[in-house]
Amino acid sequence: MARVLVSDPIDNAGVERLSAAGHEVDVKTGLKPEELEAIIGEYDALIVRSETKVTSSVIDKATRLQVVGRAGVGVDNIDLDAATGHGIAVVNAPTGNTIAAAEHAFALMMSLSRNVAQADASMRRGEWTRGKFMGVELRGKTLGVIGLGKVGSEVAKRAVAFQMNVIAFDPYVAEERARSMGVEMVDMDRLVSETDYISIHTPLTSGTKSLIGEPEFKKLKKGVRIINAARGGLVDEALLDAALKSGDVAGAALDVFTSEPPKDMPLLSNEKLIMTPHLGASTEEAQVEVAIEVVDQVMAVLNGEAAPYTINVPFVPAAVREALSPYIPVATLMGRLAIQLSDGQLDTVAINVAGDISEYDTSIIGAAALVGVLAESSDVRVNLVNAPLIAKDRGINVVQERESEALAVYSNYVGIEVRTSTGTMYLGGTSANGRVHLLRINDFYLDMEPNAPYMLFTSQIDQPGMIGKVGTIAGSHDANISFMEVGRDSPRGKATMVVGFDDQLTDAMVADIKAIPGMTSVKLVHQELMTPTQPRLRGA
């Protein structure tokens, strides 16, 4: 039996579930920081929402604490580094509100179709103007779902039931998984240009900010309706306002905003816009589901089991941690690079571990590779515990192999192959002196530390002057090169080059490099897309 402190209100179903399992539960809400610090040492588990601040000072006094549970998604109120340093697992409840969020997005779409909010406001003004609110049917219309994760998938299922044609853009979901839902996977250009409705369900990252921005607004099908119940900032609000006023966009519905609550925004007065105050998860059922989900995560940790939604790190025995820890960042970085260098629909991630470390259970290295591949695509924080589960949910095949022999120069080696609908991308690397070394790109061998803020990965013909031309173009654009590494299969044969830059590269500079005769492929990788804390192992 464990002692559990619930310091923020959660649905009573969660409290009853803990008690039924034999745990002693104290519900003490509204505690001041000093009051929480005074009693936290008596508890094995702590469950919070967003009100309680689990600071390093609190954690320092939590001498018995094994797990902190967040009844919800965000964990900004919990000091993750302090928790990790004390071997305390942090878990959350990211899926309990899935149905609530999906139903709300669908409700917004239906309201847009029939002008429900506008007609209601009109009647409250004493008007009876039926002709002003002519609607459209969903049946036969095309819905474009951006982000086919848990919420997006539920929206798609409901749209299919309403006899809509559903297409989706999500490079991190296998095509077979989409087909099983009656959804066709397409690229972004086709989605924005062919759909009657767009519903967005992606996380907000540096790569998805203004996902519907100026290029997309130029391509939108005239009369489209846009729904965003995911994250504020995914749609450029100023451009949306202009498109609504011009009639290019027939209507929009927002549950989320760049700044919440939104203020001094011209969009707010646009009559073609339906707004709700971030209500996606606000259902009675969702609150019950969230409470039960977080309690189940907490009880799993207390029972010594792996909790699927552990936010920080899994527990690994000290001997295994010492052997494998240097190769966790290798696998993660290889995965992050490989997915950025790939095109098409993700199908398979294959992980190869070779050398002395292959004697251990290297599934944790496979999980680290999946963290790298999936981190920027998921609305759930991806970590070593839940990465395999997220990959499975998305229909991604995961293959893991172990070999006893590594490259001659290095005793251990990690290779990651990303297979998509358009081809494969293979990267291999190792750890040397605590640093990640990139040793292989497809069939080309090299040895470098991929540590520049911006990197160009090129494929070209090995010919005189190629390196000089790249350097000249970089100089003309005032971009400082930090390193350059070349690999080739034979003199004047096929070659690859990795060029690191200290400065951000412009589209014009990349275009100039692509235009060099003999250059066959140029891919830009932003290190800012690879800045989340590297997953680490914890143990005794």
What residues act catalytically? 231, 260, 278
Tokens 């790249």 map to which residue?
A: 470
Helix (H, G, I), strand (E, B) or coil at 106: helix
Q: What are the distances in angstroms from CA 130 to CA 119, 123, 127, 133, 135?
A: 8, 10, 9, 6, 10
| Cβ-based burial of 468 (10 A; exposed 0-12, middle 13-18, buried ≥19) | exposed
Q: What are the distances in angstroms from CA 539 to CA 341, 473, 513, 532?
A: 34, 49, 47, 21
Distance CA 207, CA 234 (A): 10
φ and ψ at 19, to 5 degrees?
-65, -40
Question: 61 near 279, Cβ under 8 Å?
Answer: no
Question: 27 near 48, Cβ under 8 Å?
Answer: no
Tokens 């003004």 map to which residue?
A: 125
Distance CA 122, CA 118 (A): 6
Furthest-apart CA atoms within the chain: distance in Å = 83
Distance CA 195, CA 188 (A): 11
Question: 498 near 460, Cβ under 8 Å?
Answer: no
Strands 454-461 vs 481-488: parallel, antiparallel or unpaired: unpaired
Q: What are the distances in angstroms from CA 293 to CA 103, 313, 388, 508?
A: 19, 19, 19, 49
Tokens representing 82 are 């302090």
Q: What are the distances in angstroms from CA 365 to CA 91, 400, 406, 447?
A: 21, 9, 16, 21
Helix (H, G, I), strand (E, B) or coil at 201: coil
Strands 494-501 vs 481-488: parallel, antiparallel or unpaired: antiparallel
Q: Which helix (H) or strand (E) holds 485?
A: strand 481-488
Q: 228: which residues sit within 8 A by CB, 6+ positions away?
A: 199, 200, 234, 235, 252, 253, 254, 255, 256
Q: Long-range contact list for 364-368, CB < 8 A, 24+ apart?
A: 364/314, 364/316, 364/320, 364/324, 364/328, 364/537, 365/324, 365/327, 365/328, 365/331, 365/414, 366/331, 366/398, 366/400, 367/535, 368/327, 368/328, 368/329, 368/331, 368/332, 368/335, 368/535
Q: 17: which residues sit within 8 A by CB, 6+ positions away?
A: 291, 292, 295, 296, 299
